[in-house]
Amino acid sequence: MNRKEILEHAKPEDRIVIARVLDKIQSAIKFAGVEVTDIYDPHRQKLLSQVLALESGISFIWAGGYEEAERRRAVVCPDYMEAGTQDDGLGLLSIMGNCRFRDLTHRDFLGAILSLGIKREKIGDILVYEGGSQVIADRDMLEYIAGNLTKVNRLGVEANIVPLEQLKLPEEQVKEVFATVSSLRLDAVTAAGFGISRSKMADEIKAEKVRVNWVAVSDCASPVQEGDRISIRGRGRMKIDRVKGETKKGRIALIIKRYA
């Protein structure tokens, strides 16, 4: 693996993250041990998986505390070890407060944690419930957060470290949408998925409210494909579950899953 060549070909905004992962790879090989990276969104996971796959002497997995986790970290070890059996260094916080008269959001909890000086890369998924939330995070951060987090959006809360086995996964409401579109353009597919006009969707795309696979996209004509996950600020998210092919009228039939 040519470190210099990898970094030269990387986008400037990705070089620091890639360099840190390359350091983890070298350390795992040199000291025959287990290394864990920071916690990243799916876009960065995809990028870093390509980097990790370049080294034939290691084994790695992505871990986020549960199977469907969005934010994950890589567990890296020499290839004669099994990455899936190693400690991923993640833990769980329970944050509870009297939220009956105020709806706290994911952003509220994340903002309160980051205000403590915690880096985003140390925090995994935040699952919000009535009355509080559960937060997956780097285990080394848990005591500090639990000891210092007393308010979320001016509401008094109590944060406690709990076993990861106590993680409660929310039940997601999924609506299956069958649609036909003239092309697999972003504006056409998202308009069909969210049931709004194509012109209105174009305005939201141009306003950079739309993310495809967790990357902001502002080009209405950007192509999408089966398996892509799309989120729109203020509307929710959807997945292109299946592209069924052309109809007799030459349109493209889709099955879209929209998440509440």
Domain ranges of the chain: 3-85, 90-166, 174-259
Q: What is the mean pLDDT of the chain?
A: 93
Taking the C-alpha atoms of residue 52 and residue 185, their distance in angstroms, rounded to an integer, is 32
Kindly give, in sequence order, each residue whose CB lies less than 8 Å from that of residue 166, ignoring residues fewer than 6 positions away.
92, 94, 134
Q: Among all chains, which residue has been given the structure tokens 């509307």?
A: 235
Q: Evaluate if residue 243 carries a pLDDT over 80.
A: yes
Contact 221, 186 (CB under 8 A): yes
Asked if the 3-85 domain carries CATH number 3.30.1370.160, the reply is yes
The residue with greater pLDDT, 43 or 18, is 18
Report the pLDDT averaged over residues 65-85: 94
- To the nearest 10 degrees (0 to 180), the angle between helices 15-31 and 42-52 is 50
Class of CATH domain 174-259: alpha beta
Q: Please report, for residues 6, 94, 221, the alpha-carbon distance to residue 88 in angstroms, rounded to integers and kept in the order given.
A: 26, 19, 40
Tell me which residue of 91, 90, 93, 99 sits closest to 134, measured CA to CA.
Answer: 93
pLDDT digits (tens, 9 = 90+) for 35-73: 999 999 988 998 999 999 998 899 999 999 998 899 999
Q: Which CATH superfamily is domain 90-166 in?
A: RRM (RNA recognition motif) domain (3.30.70.330)
Q: 62: which residues sit within 8 A by CB, 6+ positions away? A: 45, 49, 72, 73, 74, 75
Residue 236: pLDDT band with limits 50, 70, 90? confident
pLDDT digits (tens, 9 = 90+) for 198-222: 999 999 999 999 999 888 899 999 9
- Looking at residue 131, what is its pLDDT? 83
CA pair distance 48, 163, nearest whole angstrom? 29
Instruction: Return the percentage of the chain with pLDDT > 90, whole number.
Output: 78
